[in-house]
Amino acid sequence: MTDRDRQPEDTAAATGEPVVSKPYIMPDDPEPGSVELLQKEAAEARDRTLLLMSRLSDEDLHQQHDPLMSPIIWDVGHIAHFEELWLTQNLDGPIEFSEMPGMYNPFEHPRATRASLGLPSLSQMMSRLEEIRSRVLDRLETVEFDDRNTLLRDEYVYHMVLQHEYQHNETILQTLQLKTGGAYAAPRAVTLPRGRSLADRPPMVRFPGGVVVAGTDDRRVAYDNERPAHEVEVAPFWIDVAPVSNGDYLQFMRDGGYSRREWWSNAGWAWLREAGVEAPKHWSRDGDVWYVRAMDRVDRVDLAMPVCHVCFHEAAAFAHSVGKRLPTETEWEVAAGWHPTQRRMQRFPWGDAPPTPRHANLDQLGFGVAQLGAYERNWSPLGCYGMIGDVWEWTSSDFQPYPGYRTFPYAEYSEVFFGVDYKVLRGGSWATRPGAIRNSFRNWDYPIRRQIFSGFRCARDD
Ligand SMILES: [Fe+2]
């Protein structure tokens, strides 16, 4: 029996039992907003960081595995110092620094230079993590969640720091996928459910157009760039029911996708000439057969899985080749969450309840994408599958502030990245922790990036 022959019921995660570290918040958890819950979530986030590091040597941790990525020990130190900055120093304001000064400041030290910083050894880092965490927990004992303090209202700053650790976990996984000196021995703890054919579904669904409310006013966990909720007039459009599969993408390759100039934008063609690629990142060919590597596992490309590790230009060229285009981020959000009769945006495709292991392929421990149709609850009101989990989805939108945007609490999260250089991605991937994704969440990256766990779906005009 291969891994994929098993059903979700067989897996520890699907039965709600703890896997390696508990992947999701459980019903017996302390009350929302309580100090006990924050303590528990902080411990759980750290367990995951340590789990991901647990099979790595000091050398693995200090190595620059790719010019795009930091040495993993830098990410770990940055996680700790960000926590120290926001949950001890800045907690009582005034906010002195938005990013920590020194070695772990991402703006002072570009990723490609971080290996030369004289980073601490693993054992020094472990002591540092513990020392900072114990001061954070001491401070948490006495914190007063004063509604007049916007950092503390609804425990905002604690959720921000938690999400920061979750997000760096995904960055660490990108690095691990690029690891040099032998593939990463992934601590797989979840067997991904098998897919179900979507052949009985139409390939695209239609949004009839109208005024929707995109973004959110949430101030408990949402980032500044997700706010405020705002009305947008959306023209009618069609969108793919499912993300583009490896099977679809192979067809594009066979149709000469990487050599048909007419399908590529000028920028995309320039990138392609320079990059010289002929397939998604981490694919390799043996004769006519394509293989894909996910950490330490190399499998034949599974036609029923969403394509992963393609850049924006590849996504846009594919869309062009089939007479479609990429959705705007508003169209994506409408497809993921707009409820036509309640006339409101749901927090997730299936409703407002947070994800569990039965809803979507999130939370890392399967270490790869699942076949399409594998999660029968992962359907949106409009009828789209898999908007959350598996792969981030490229959109055609530049990363811009929403009307009425206000920076909070620091400019270096969103504001300094707004502009035409970055494209927005939505929906999270298998490597995203559940606490760091929702329909309103906006990710962004350069249109040439392929180290991220990125795929796409297509749209078209009415
Ligand atoms: Fe960071």
User: What separation in Å is there between the alpha carbon of 50 and the centre of ligand 1?
Assistant: 17
Residue 406 pLDDT class (50, 70, 90 cuts): very high
User: What separation in Å is there between the alpha carbon of 106 and the centre of ligand 1?
Assistant: 7
pTM of structure: 0.93
Crossing angle of helices 35-53 and 72-84, in 10° steps, is 160
User: What separation in Å is there between the alpha carbon of 129 and the centre of ligand 1?
Assistant: 16
More confidently predicted of 262 and 96:
262
Residue 6 pLDDT class (50, 70, 90 cuts): very low
C-beta separation of 200 from 384 below 8 A: no
**Which of left, alpha, beta for 5 (phi over 0: left; psi -120 to 50: alpha)?**
alpha
- Summarised one tens digit per residue, pLDDT across range 258-291 is 999 999 999 999 999 999 999 999 999 999 999 9
Which of 210, 216, 197, 276 lies closest to 237, judged by CA? 210
User: What separation in Å is there between the alpha carbon of 461 and the centre of ligand 1?
Assistant: 38
User: What separation in Å is there between the alpha carbon of 194 and the centre of ligand 1?
Assistant: 34
More confidently predicted of 183 and 145:
183
User: What separation in Å is there between the alpha carbon of 439 and the centre of ligand 1?
Assistant: 21
Per-residue pLDDT, averaged over 3-9, amounts to: 30
Per-residue pLDDT, averaged over 113-121, amounts to: 90
Quote the percentage of the chain above a pLDDT of 70.
94
Per-residue pLDDT, averaged over 327-338, amounts to: 98
The secondary structure of residue 263, as a DSSP letter, is G
Give residue 112's pLDDT. 87
Per-residue pLDDT, averaged over 329-356, amounts to: 97
User: What separation in Å is there between the alpha carbon of 168 and the centre of ligand 1?
Assistant: 7
- Coil/strand/helix, residue 112: helix
Quote the percentage of the chain above a pLDDT of 90.
85
Which of 84, 98, 101, 352 lies closest to 224, judged by CA? 98
Per the prediction, the chain carries an average pLDDT of 92
For residue 253, is pLDDT > 50?
yes
Q: Which two tokens stand for residue 56?
A: 């790595």
- Summarised one tens digit per residue, pLDDT across range 129-141 is 999 999 999 999 9
- Summarised one tens digit per residue, pLDDT across range 187-245 is 999 999 999 999 999 999 999 999 999 999 999 999 999 999 999 999 999 999 999 99
- Residues 416, 422: Cα–Cα separation, whole Å: 11
User: What separation in Å is there between the alpha carbon of 79 and the centre of ligand 1?
Assistant: 7
Give residue 11's pLDDT. 31
User: What separation in Å is there between the alpha carbon of 437 and the centre of ligand 1?
Assistant: 16
User: What separation in Å is there between the alpha carbon of 232 and the centre of ligand 1?
Assistant: 31
Residue 27 pLDDT class (50, 70, 90 cuts): low
User: What separation in Å is there between the alpha carbon of 80 and the centre of ligand 1?
Assistant: 10
More confidently predicted of 302 and 1:
302
More confidently predicted of 16 and 438:
438
- Residues 294, 177: Cα–Cα separation, whole Å: 7
Give residue 1's pLDDT. 30
Residue 442 pLDDT class (50, 70, 90 cuts): very high
User: What separation in Å is there between the alpha carbon of 130 and the centre of ligand 1?
Assistant: 19
HSE, side-chain direction, 13 A CA sphere, residue 419? 5
For residue 19, is pLDDT > 70?
no
Q: Give 192's contacts (C-beta < 8 A, 6+ positions apart).
A: 3, 4, 361, 366, 368, 370, 371, 374
HSE, side-chain direction, 13 A CA sphere, residue 365? 21
User: What separation in Å is there between the alpha carbon of 87 and the centre of ligand 1?
Assistant: 14
User: What separation in Å is there between the alpha carbon of 280 and the centre of ligand 1?
Assistant: 27
User: What separation in Å is there between the alpha carbon of 28 and the centre of ligand 1?
Assistant: 31
Q: Which residue has the tokens 């040495």?
A: 71
- Summarised one tens digit per residue, pLDDT across range 146-160 is 899 989 999 999 999
Give residue 26's pLDDT. 58
Using only C-alpha atoms, what is the Rg of the chain?
22
User: What separation in Å is there between the alpha carbon of 78 and the centre of ligand 1?
Assistant: 7
C-beta separation of 303 from 247 below 8 A: yes
Give residue 17's pLDDT. 32
Parallel/antiparallel/unpaired status of strands 454-455 and 392-398: parallel
User: What separation in Å is there between the alpha carbon of 9 and the centre of ligand 1?
Assistant: 36
Q: Give 426's contacts (C-beta < 8 A, 6+ positions apart).
A: 329, 332, 333, 336, 387, 392, 393, 395, 439, 441, 442, 443
User: What separation in Å is there between the alpha carbon of 417 and the centre of ligand 1?
Assistant: 14
Q: Which two tokens stand for residue 61?
A: 């941790």
For residue 256, is pLDDT > 60?
yes
Give residue 416's pLDDT. 95
Give the chain's end-to-end CA distance (angstroms, integer).
45
For residue 145, is pLDDT > 50?
yes
Residue 98 pLDDT class (50, 70, 90 cuts): confident
Per-residue pLDDT, averaged over 40-59, amounts to: 97
C-beta separation of 184 from 113 below 8 A: no
Give residue 25's pLDDT. 56
